[in-house]
């Protein structure tokens, strides 16, 4: 039985469609990382809801990811997306460079930089009533699962994940949502069911979405001119928003 429920990146991690729109957020330096900041139009409730947006290897500052962050902010979250790729994104990698090796190098650098960034976030936004949630797309999934393991967020969500092994699911102590595609080389059916088996056995709080007719990357880089792909992307985001509101309201 596999010990890598969401394994190495695959070719589908490096491809996709560019979306169009007018980003509403801004970029600030935070904890040594440029960070996309998208704030809600108004604060509701007695506490601040902060959503940590851990992007795929196209980066939190790509147009697709900016627009998704804007969507979550429009739903009442302060959304913070660190550029833990330091301005080096997969779409800019030369054709003769091994993208798989490049991704692992970027992961090591991101893991090293993330704690300082998170400390800066808590220093700026943390109060006794601040509630944190986190969503990770592909490359961002292990960061979310580490926070789920630590219990430092109210709930997490991972979307067409990569770079995970069984221990990430074994140690989940906070609610976690898995938003998955039917076809995914990095997180295939066998691995998805193994992850679910672990969550069931441990009586974890979880929810799993599986979308037919789409592939890895559907939630951030799908073709918006194809109705099924557009619906899956939008429904994934809506489900994550509702999941986070359930635990942070």
CA 105 to chain centre: 19
Which of 138, 146, 160, 168 is labelled catalytic? 138
Residue pair 101/9 in contact (Cβ under 8 Å)? The answer is no
> Could you confirm whether 184 is annotated as catalytic?
yes
> Could you confirm whether 216 is annotated as catalytic?
yes
Classify residue 95 by its DSSP letter: T
- Count how many residues are written for the chain: 249
Residue pair 203/232 in contact (Cβ under 8 Å)? The answer is no
Residue pair 84/59 in contact (Cβ under 8 Å)? The answer is no
Residue 59's nearest CA partner among 96, 18, 87, 31 is 87
> Could you confirm whether 207 is annotated as catalytic?
no
In DSSP notation, 127-187 reads -TT-EEEEEEEGGGHHHHHHHHHHT-SSEEEEES--SB-HHHHHT--S-EEEEEEEE-SSS
The residues assigned a catalytic role are 138, 184, 216
């Amino acid at each position: 039985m596999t010990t890598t429920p969401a394994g190495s990146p695959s070719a589908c991690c490096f491809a996709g469609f560019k979306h169009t729109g007018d980003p509403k957020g801004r970029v600030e330096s935070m904890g040594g990382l440029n960070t996309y900041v998208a704030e809600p139009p108004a604060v509701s409730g007695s506490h601040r809801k902060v959503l940590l947006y851990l992007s795929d290897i196209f980066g939190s500052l790509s147009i697709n990811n900016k627009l998704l962050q804007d969507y979550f902010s429009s739903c009442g979250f302060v959304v913070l997306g660190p550029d833990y790729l330091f301005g080096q994104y997969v779409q800019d990698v030369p054709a003769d460079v091994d993208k798989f090796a490049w991704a692992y190098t970027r992961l090591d650098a991101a893991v090293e930089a993330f704690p300082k960034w998170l400390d800066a976030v808590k220093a700026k936004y943390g109060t006794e009533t601040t509630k944190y949630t986190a969503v990770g797309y592909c490359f961002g999934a292990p960061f979310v699962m580490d926070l789920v393991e630590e219990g430092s967020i109210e709930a997490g969500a991972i979307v067409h994940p990569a770079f995970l092994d069984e221990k990430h699911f074994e140690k989940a102590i906070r609610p976690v949502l898995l938003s998955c595609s039917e076809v995914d080389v990095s997180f295939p059916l066998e691995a998805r069911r193994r992850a679910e088996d672990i969550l069931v056995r441990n009586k974890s709080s979880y929810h799993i979405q599986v979308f037919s007719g789409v592939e890895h990357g559907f939630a951030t880089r799908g073709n918006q001119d194809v109705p099924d792909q557009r619906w899956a992307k939008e429904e994934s985001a809506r489900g994550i928003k509702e999941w986070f509101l359930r635990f942070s309201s």
